[in-house]
Structure 1
Amino acid sequence: MFKKFTKEDVHTRTNVKSSVQRALKSKFVSQFEKLESVIDEIIPKKSAVELLKCEDKIQLYIVDDEVVFFQQFDELIPSIKIVQKYPDAFPSVKVDRGAIKFVLSGANIMCPGLTSPGAGLPDAPGYEKEKIVAIYAEGKEHALAIGKLIMSTEDIKSINKGIGIELVHYLGDGLWNFQAD
């Protein structure tokens, strides 16, 4: 999604009203329940939230010159920088070492990279299809990508073929390197 994202992809930049900020905060918390205790740290009450409307109907929400989350259509998706600051607040999966170079080049994650030794999926019941997850790598401390499950984690374990996660945002992509100033 952000492989070749640059400042030229931004069309408009506006400040978000406080009523809209409150609605965004509650929507973000409803998507990721564990954020409730830290949402006021992520988006402080008196902070100015900016909305950047970009190509492909992507909207970036910026607080203090840092992209906090983005939206394409209806779902709010956290930036990797926010996931790295609050790692326990987001659902996560782990890929094996062999998948790291592919993830960092923007490839979708195949099921075998999520089920092999060194990888990790949550125990049953797991996550449902379409869930946004933070992607960690075997032996690494911080998240290296954000993705959307193409199938449930139970299906990934049982089918073990094809694409398991569609990559949305990863370390080194255009959004990671984006300077909001």
Structure 2
Amino acid sequence: MEIKRRYCLKKKELKRIREELNNIFGIEVIPKNANGELAITDNYEMILLNNEPIAFKLNDKIYPTLKTLLTHELNKGKVVVDMGAVRFLAKGADVMAPGIVDADENIKKGDVVFVVDETHGRPLCVGEALMDGKEMKESNKGRAIKTIHYIGDDIWKF
């Protein structure tokens, strides 16, 4: 991934991003007095704090990075998958409903969600819900989450 442009975010822009991430996960991901940067790449707009990617923007929607999820204890928007799904998710596959063990029932179709494994509870991927949370838990066929960012991809390596 090649950075085309990089510049400091204005306080107003960073506040909007902070509020959007807070709405997604219900906790403060970006500290109030933080200084951020925006790095424009081929595919994404990366939001950086101290040269670490904390979120990225794709199609006017903000997604947290897995590194951000590793440093915060989140339950809102969380989906748990069985260990059989891990190897597929590590290669960027979408999350299929049969592999889902548990999901936040407040998830609505189109929400930003993240997926963890059932054994360790470590984040595996970030994506967009294709079903409601309750439907994810009850369904035994179909795609439940479109994977946007996963372990080992360009954003992870950034």
Question: Does TM-score exceed 0.5, indicating one fold?
Answer: yes
Contact 1:43/1:63 (8 A) holds in 2: no
1:53 corresponding residue in structure 2: 40
Question: Which amino acid is 1:88 matched to?
Answer: L
Asked if residue 121 in structure 1 is aligned to residue 100 in structure 2, the reply is no
Q: Please give the alpha-carbon distance, in whole angstroms, between the structure 2 residues aligned to 1:153 and 1:31.
A: 15
Contact 2:56/2:63 (8 A) holds in 1: yes
Q: CA deviation at 1:158?
A: 4.2
Partner secondary structure for residue 86 of structure 2: helix
Q: CA deviation at 1:128?
A: 0.7
Which of 1 and 2 has greater Rg? 1
Partner secondary structure for residue 40 of structure 2: strand
Asked if residue 81 in structure 1 is aligned to residue 67 in structure 2, the reply is yes
2:5 corresponding residue in structure 1: 12
Q: CA deviation at 1:68?
A: 0.8
1:169 corresponding residue in structure 2: 149
TM-score, length basis structure 1: 0.79
**Structure 2 residue runs without a partner (length 5+):** none
Q: CA deviation at 1:129?
A: 0.4
Q: CA deviation at 1:174?
A: 1.2
Query: Which of 4, 27, 30 is the aligned partner of 2:20?
Result: 27
Contact 2:24/2:77 (8 A) holds in 1: no
Contact 1:121/1:153 (8 A) holds in 2: yes
Q: Please give the alpha-carbon distance, in whole angstroms, between the structure 1 residues aligned to 2:39 and 2:134.
A: 37
TM-score, length basis structure 2: 0.90
Distance 1:176 1:142, change over 3 A: same
Asked if residue 109 in structure 1 is aligned to residue 121 in structure 2, the reply is no
Distance 1:26 1:149, change over 3 A: same
Q: Please give the alpha-carbon distance, in whole angstroms, between the structure 2 residues aligned to 1:176 and 1:11.
A: 18
Distance 1:151 1:89, change over 3 A: closer
Q: Please give the alpha-carbon distance, in whole angstroms, between the structure 1 residues aligned to 2:57 and 2:110.
A: 14
Question: Which amino acid is 2:110 matched to?
Answer: E
Q: Where do 1:148-163 residues align within 5 Å?
A: 148-163=128-143
| Structure whose residues are more often strand by fraction | 2
Contact 1:83/1:90 (8 A) holds in 2: no
Q: How many residues align?
A: 158
**Structure 1 residue runs without a partner (length 5+):** 1-5
Query: Which of 41, 46, 50 is the aligned partner of 1:64?
Result: 50
Identical pairs, percent:
25
Deviates more, 1:83-92 or 1:14-23: 83-92
Q: CA deviation at 1:88?
A: 2.1
